[in-house]
Structure 1
Amino acid sequence: MGGARSTHIKEAEGSHRPHPARGAEPELRPHDDETDGTLAFPEQSLWWVLPNAAMKKKVLLMGKSGSGKTSMRSIIFANYIARDTRRLGATIDVEHSHVRFLGNLVLNLWDCGGQDTFMENYFTSQRDNIFRNVEVLIYVFDVESRELEKDMHYYQSCLEAILQNSPDAKIFCLVHKMDLVQEDQRDLIFKEREEDLRRLSRPLECSCFRTSIWDETLYKAWSSIVYQLIPNVQQLEMNLRNFAEIIEADEVLLFERATFLVISHYQCKEQRDAHRFEKISNIIKQFKLSCSKLAASFQSMEVRNSNFAAFIDIFTSNTYVMVVMSDPSIPSAATLINIRNARKHFEKLERVDGPKQCLLMR
């Protein structure tokens, strides 16, 4: 039994907590009194503040026509699977969408069509409208594009407009469709493209990611992007660390509930697989979609062997949590009660309008 592994998956049909309607108050579970031998939180022990009013963040998604912008947006935010994106048509002009993320944070996503006519209009007649008040610019490059010079020209035009209208915007470059490149060439090609983009971006700074809709790299890139948009994320991480230390967890991850992007994590030691977060996001997102086809709702999962125990469970109205314990002798019930007792307090981190301070767990 040394290497045996058990997996428990809980699906809720009918009885599961529905995701709150857009604009509705998130549901709060009553505080549990079952705290014997488990974690008990004092009132006001955690505080991560989002204002009550919706906080909108404008995100520009740009790149040449056919680079894969709409496909990645549909996979992350509209629950498409990779093979279904083939039927998506070209984006005409600008498609606007508002994605509610973590309660009061709203991503105002502008998916800009990449045909030459539209691109030219963005830099002339629509320049101020498109590039004003931008929080994040995401520019997508098709790694196999035969018009690299034109791609770079349009990218530099975007940077000039950003520098003029939104100089504090964060820049992300996604070198996309990397699955089309031979595996032994991917590192070299990406490194060369990254160096070119960093040089062309000066005096602005850009963060570069290699991506593909067919693997977890898409989740790594978008988790990093969304992380930059979350207010007071350092306070959230501090509180997550406190939670992990109290329950003696090796690792705790917080996922956004709809997209399953990683928004925060704590680990007490380095792990061998640096890409495990995005792999988990990809796997669970695919499993959630499979559940939905059966009219079931994914709620929780437990994986256990002789070396570790991992729990994924609904946490707040807007998040899932994953807790990894290296001591599998700790009863599952104790960890699950600890997670349950923390829910009420982490709900406050998203909802409370109060002083911007972190109250440590005692």
Structure 2
Amino acid sequence: MYNHKENLLKKLLLMGQQKAGKSSMHKVIFACAPPKDLMQIGVTTNVSQIQIKFMGNLKIHLLDIPGQPQLLKQYLTEFKETIFSNVEVLVYLFDVEMEGQSFTSEMNTFRSTLTNLSEYSPSSKVFILINKFDKIKESDKKMVFERKYKRIIQEAEGLNIEVKDVFATCIWDETLYKAWSQIVQNLLPERDIIRKSLKSLCNKCSCDEIVLFEKQSYLVIDFEDLSEKKDILKYERISNIIKQFKLSCKTAAIDIKTIMVKSKKFHVIIEEFTQNTFILLLFTDEKVYPAAIKHNLKYVQKLFKSNLGSDTDQLKLLL
């Protein structure tokens, strides 16, 4: 079972200047909102607090902080202790099109944010999302990302805070899922147990690859790939595709339980696994039958029902 501390809310700050795409982003990920429906979303004028249940016992307390300069100044000074205390993760968004004096001003705000975080939550993790990358020409993306990345990392130097990663994102493709999958993975307790359990199940089912997705958001919780490629981006792409398919099914009042894909080279099964997850299994061995895989999954699910703990507790039964 999760211990008492792990059962508390995990505080996640979502920050950045206005119109960087903060509200649109968390609505796409956690509220399953289609990106096209968010084109005219209004400006956030108050701290938006959302509690998200994730993987059973884990609860994420997401605070979407308004980015208007006057409001942001108050949060960074008058209310800094309230905002920055007990933060587990900070997600900071930059608008990729912001340049010149506006970008310099944003750098000052970013440094003030990290300074407050290092004072009130020094053990927190920071993820940087350079957003709206769909507005940059394909030929310029690498150059723009490297230039922004270098400036952002330089600004964070000398502060007692860990910048875990920097991502180029947009709400229209799998880059968003890649970033947020890694963010939520850093909030999960006992992730090593999840990884070992997936490896065990992968071996027992004679699969080449296995991926665990959170049920509502379809974010990747973890995966096991017996090949040498270890291409996490393909799973994020699958995540995005399945989520769009799920939204289409929801419109038609159809609930997804199982998806099977067959080709000359491989079989894929995507199945509802635990109460809070879906699982994907890929196998290439012609001697392995899909019916056998599904039988094994049904047996595991029946085994899980005898355990009243969290999803992680249930996965331990596979070890």
Judged with a 3 Å threshold, the aligned counterparts in structure 2 of structure 1 residues 132 and 260 are, in CA distance, closer, same or farther, namely same
Q: Is the contact made by 1:227 and 1:263 (CA closer than 8 Å) also made in structure 2?
A: yes
Task: Report the Cα distance in structure 2 between the residues aligned to 1:68 and 1:353, rounded to whole angstroms.
Answer: 33
Identical-pair percentage: 35
Quote how far apart the aligned CAs of 1:328 are.
3.6
Quote how far apart the aligned CAs of 1:272 are.
7.7
- Please tell me the residue identity of whatever aligns with 1:341: Y
User: Are 1:343 and 2:301 an aligned pair?
Assistant: yes
Find the counterpart in structure 2 of residue 277 from structure 1: 235
Quote how far apart the aligned CAs of 1:100 are.
0.4
Superposed CA deviations along residues 104-124 of structure 1, whole A, max 9, x for unmatched, are 100000000100111100111
Q: 2:28 aligns with which of 75, 84, 90?
A: 75
Superposed CA deviations along residues 210-230 of structure 1, whole A, max 9, x for unmatched, are 100111100000000000000
Q: 1:307 aligns with which of 240, 247, 265?
A: 265
Quote how far apart the aligned CAs of 1:346 are.
5.3
Q: Is the contact made by 1:219 and 1:281 (CA closer than 8 Å) also made in structure 2?
A: yes
Find the counterpart in structure 2 of residue 104 from structure 1: 57
Judged with a 3 Å threshold, the aligned counterparts in structure 2 of structure 1 residues 138 and 79 are, in CA distance, closer, same or farther, namely same
Deviates more, 1:321-330 or 1:65-74: 321-330
Quote how far apart the aligned CAs of 1:307 are.
1.1
User: Are 1:135 and 2:88 an aligned pair?
Assistant: yes
Find the counterpart in structure 1 of residue 118 from structure 2: 163
User: Are 1:50 and 2:2 an aligned pair?
Assistant: yes
User: Are 1:93 and 2:46 an aligned pair?
Assistant: yes
Task: Report the Cα distance in structure 1 between the residues aligned to 2:27 and 2:212, rounded to whole angstroms.
Answer: 22
Task: Report the Cα distance in structure 1 between the residues aligned to 2:242 and 2:199, rounded to whole angstroms.
Answer: 23
Quote how far apart the aligned CAs of 1:125 are.
1.2
Find the counterpart in structure 2 of residue 197 from structure 1: 152
Find the counterpart in structure 1 of residue 214 from structure 2: 256
Judged with a 3 Å threshold, the aligned counterparts in structure 2 of structure 1 residues 302 and 171 are, in CA distance, closer, same or farther, namely same
User: Are 1:149 and 2:107 an aligned pair?
Assistant: no
Task: Report the Cα distance in structure 1 between the residues aligned to 2:166 and 2:192, rounded to whole angstroms.
Answer: 23
Gaps of at least 5 residues in structure 1 are: 1-48
- Please tell me the residue identity of whatever aligns with 1:209: F
User: Are 1:230 and 2:188 an aligned pair?
Assistant: yes
Q: Is the contact made by 2:276 and 2:311 (CA closer than 8 Å) also made in structure 1?
A: no
Greater relative contact order (Cα 8 A, min sep 6): structure 1 or 2? 1
Gaps of at least 5 residues in structure 2 are: none
Q: Is the contact made by 1:305 and 1:328 (CA closer than 8 Å) also made in structure 2?
A: no
Judged with a 3 Å threshold, the aligned counterparts in structure 2 of structure 1 residues 151 and 193 are, in CA distance, closer, same or farther, namely same
Task: Report the Cα distance in structure 2 between the residues aligned to 1:61 and 1:337, rounded to whole angstroms.
Answer: 42
User: Are 1:316 and 2:269 an aligned pair?
Assistant: no
Superposed CA deviations along residues 40-71 of structure 1, whole A, max 9, x for unmatched, are xxxxxxxxx42478431000000000000000
Task: Report the Cα distance in structure 2 between the residues aligned to 1:300 and 1:164, rounded to whole angstroms.
Answer: 48
Q: Which structure has the larger Rg?
A: 1
**Count of paired positions:** 311
User: Are 1:247 and 2:200 an aligned pair?
Assistant: no
What is the TM-score with the length of structure 1 in the denominator?
0.82
Q: Is the contact made by 2:89 and 2:125 (CA closer than 8 Å) also made in structure 1?
A: yes
User: Are 1:297 and 2:297 an aligned pair?
Assistant: no
Task: Report the Cα distance in structure 2 between the residues aligned to 1:65 and 1:340, rounded to whole angstroms.
Answer: 48
Quote how far apart the aligned CAs of 1:359 are.
6.7
Quote how far apart the aligned CAs of 1:360 are.
6.4
Task: Report the Cα distance in structure 1 between the residues aligned to 2:61 and 2:308, rounded to whole angstroms.
Answer: 22
Q: Secondary structure at the match of 2:81?
A: helix
Judged with a 3 Å threshold, the aligned counterparts in structure 2 of structure 1 residues 343 and 85 are, in CA distance, closer, same or farther, namely same
Q: Secondary structure at the match of 2:20?
A: coil
**RMSD of the alignment, in Å?**
2.0
Q: Is the contact made by 1:50 and 1:352 (CA closer than 8 Å) also made in structure 2?
A: no
Q: Is the contact made by 1:175 and 1:210 (CA closer than 8 Å) also made in structure 2?
A: yes
- Please tell me the residue identity of whatever aligns with 1:134: V
Q: Secondary structure at the match of 2:19?
A: coil
Find the counterpart in structure 2 of residue 36 from structure 1: none
Task: Report the Cα distance in structure 1 between the residues aligned to 2:282 and 2:145, rounded to whole angstroms.
Answer: 33
What is the TM-score with the length of structure 2 in the denominator?
0.93
Q: Secondary structure at the match of 2:87?
A: coil
Q: Is the contact made by 2:190 and 2:312 (CA closer than 8 Å) also made in structure 1?
A: no
- Please tell me the residue identity of whatever aligns with 1:116: P
